[in-house]
C-alpha cells in the first residue's frame, strides 16, 4: 500500500510536494491500461457520492471527472447551476452548504471566482477537488499534462518547456508554472506583454518573441486566449496574433527535433495553433492529454477518499 496522500483536498499544486505529485502520477499509471480494457468497472468507490458542481462551461474536465467516478463505482451526480437556485441569487457558500447537507463524499468544483474551491472546502465535510477557479489553479490539468510528458520522455527533470499564449489569465498555466519547475523542468513563458504574468515566478523566463521562446524546447504547450477574462480593449490591441504567436509547422522547426505539442483545449484552430499540426499524431499529444486525464482523476478520487473508505 503506497503512502496515503497527506492532504484532505486537492485545491491547487500550491502546497504539494514533488513526492505528492509523483504519488498521483504513479497511481494514475495503471488506470491507463485499465481504461483501455473492454470492461472498465472497479468498485473501490462503491456507495460513495461524488458531486460535480461546475459553475463554468466544460467539456473535457466535467466529462472526465464523471467517467472517472463511475469507473471507480461512485454514484456521480452533476449539479447544474444554470438550472439551480444560483439563478435566484443563492451564494456560493449557501450552495456549498446545501450540497454538503446531502452528505456527499467528494465535491468537484469549477467556478469563475479565484479561490472558490478553497472557500467551498472550508464549509463542507468532504474532500474538495478544484476543477478550475477563475484565473487561479486547475491542478488536475497540470497533473495530466505532467503524466503526458512523463510518458513521452520517461522524465520531466531537465526538459525544456515553453508555455505560449494567454498565460496571465490561464489557470492551466497557473498550475503548470508551479508543477513543472517542482519536477525539475526548465520553464519559459511566451506571449505578448499584455498576456504575460506581471512577474513570472523565480527561475522562469518570459519571452515576447515566439521563435526565441520556443527555440530548442522539448515541449510546446499552447493556450487559448481567455477572451472571457480579458480587460476591455486588450483583445483588440493584440493585432495579428496568429502571425506573431500562432504555432505553425514552420515555427515548430525551431524547437527540439522531437518536440511535442500540447494544448489543454478548447483550441481555436488557426488562432493559437494550426489545425494540421494539432491533428498530427507524430507531434501532437492533445488527445493523449484527454485520455490520461481520466486516469489522473481516478487516482485523485481514489487517494482523497481512502481514509473515508477505511
**Would you tell me which residues interact with ligand NCD (CB under 6 A)?**
60-61, 132, 138, 141, 171-172, 224, 264-265
Which of 259, 191, 185, 249 lies closest to 219, judged by CA?
259
Q: How far is the CB of 24 from ligand NCD (least distance, A)?
A: 17
Closest to ligand NCD by CB, 132 or 246: 132
Q: Nearest residue by C-beta to ligand NCD?
A: 264
Q: Is 85 exposed, middle or buried (0-12, 13-18, 19+ CB in 10 A)?
A: exposed
Q: How far is the CB of 35 from ligand NCD (least distance, A)?
A: 18
Closest to ligand NCD by CB, 50 or 61: 61
Closest to ligand NCD by CB, 127 or 132: 132
Closest to ligand NCD by CB, 48 or 197: 197
Angstrom distances, CA of residue 96 to CA of 34, 54, 193: 33, 12, 37
Q: How far is the CB of 308 from ligand NCD (least distance, A)?
A: 26
| Spatial separation of the C-alpha atoms in residues 121 and 135, rounded to whole Å | 18
Closest to ligand NCD by CB, 48 or 76: 76
Q: How far is the CB of 284 from ligand NCD (least distance, A)?
A: 15
CA atoms within 13 A on the CB side of 48: 27
Closest to ligand NCD by CB, 256 or 271: 271
Q: Which residues, 6+ apart, have CB-to-CB distance to 220 below 8 Å? A: 162, 164, 214, 247, 252, 255, 259, 260, 261, 262
Which parts of the chain fold into alpha helices (H)? Answer: 18-36, 60-71, 92-101, 116-121, 139-153, 171-182, 210-214, 241-245, 249-252, 275-278, 286-309
CA atoms within 13 A on the CB side of 258: 4
Q: How far is the CB of 166 from ligand NCD (least distance, A)?
A: 8
Closest to ligand NCD by CB, 13 or 48: 13
CA atoms within 13 A on the CB side of 27: 22
Assigned C-alpha cell, 205: 523566463
Closest to ligand NCD by CB, 246 or 264: 264
| Spatial separation of the C-alpha atoms in residues 169 and 228, rounded to whole Å | 9
Q: How far is the CB of 101 from ligand NCD (least distance, A)?
A: 28
Q: How far is the CB of 56 from ligand NCD (least distance, A)?
A: 7
Which of 58, 7, 14, 9 lies closest to 174, judged by CA?
14
Q: How far is the CB of 160 from ligand NCD (least distance, A)?
A: 23
| Spatial separation of the C-alpha atoms in residues 277 and 273, rounded to whole Å | 7
Amino acid at each position: 500500500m503506497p503512502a496515503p496522500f497527506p492532504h484532505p483536498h486537492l485545491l491547487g499544486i500550491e502546497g504539494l510536494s514533488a513526492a505528492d505529485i509523483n504519488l498521483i502520477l504513479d497511481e494514475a499509471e495503471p488506470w491507463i491500461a485499465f481504461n483501455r480494457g473492454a470492461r472498465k468497472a472497479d468498485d473501490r468507490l462503491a456507495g460513495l457520492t461524488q458531486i460535480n458542481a461546475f459553475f463554468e462551461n466544460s467539456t473535457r474536465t466535467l466529462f472526465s471527472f464523471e467517467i472517472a467516478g463511475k469507473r471507480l463505482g461512485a454514484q456521480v451526480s452533476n449539479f447544474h447551476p444554470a438550472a439551480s437556485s444560483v439563478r435566484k441569487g443563492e451564494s456560493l457558500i449557501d450552495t456549498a452548504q446545501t450540497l454538503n447537507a446531502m452528505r456527499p463524499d467528494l465535491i468537484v468544483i469549477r467556478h469563475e471566482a479565484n479561490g472558490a474551491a478553497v472557500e467551498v472546502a472550508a464549509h463542507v465535510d468532504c474532500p474538495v477537488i478544484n476543477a478550475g477557479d477563475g484565473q487561479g489553479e486547475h491542478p488536475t490539468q497540470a497533473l495530466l499534462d505532467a503524466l503526458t510528458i512523463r510518458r513521452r520522455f520517461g522524465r520531466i527533470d531537465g526538459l525544456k518547456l515553453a508555455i505560449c499564449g494567454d498565460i496571465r489569465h490561464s489557470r492551466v498555466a497557473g498550475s503548470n508554472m508551479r508543477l513543472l519547475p517542482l519536477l525539475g523542468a526548465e520553464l519559459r513563458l511566451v506571449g505578448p506583454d499584455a498576456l504575460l504574468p506581471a512577474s513570472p515566478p523565480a527561475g522562469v523566463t518570459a519571452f515576447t518573441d515566439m521563435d526565441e521562446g520556443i527555440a530548442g524546447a522539448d515541449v510546446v504547450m499552447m493556450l487559448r486566449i481567455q477572451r472571457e477574462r480579458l480587460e476591455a480593449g486588450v483583445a483588440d490591441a493584440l493585432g495579428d496574433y496568429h502571425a506573431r504567436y500562432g504555432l505553425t509547422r514552420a515555427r515548430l522547426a525551431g524547437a527540439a527535433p522531437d518536440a511535442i505539442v500540447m494544448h489543454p483545449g478548447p483550441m481555436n484552430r488557426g488562432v493559437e495553433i494550426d489545425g494540421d499540426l494539432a491533428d498530427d499524431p507524430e507531434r501532437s499529444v492533445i488527445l493523449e492529454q484527454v485520455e490520461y486525464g481520466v486516469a489522473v482523476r481516478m487516482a485523485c478520487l481514489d487517494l482523497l477518499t481512502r481514509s473515508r473508505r477505511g
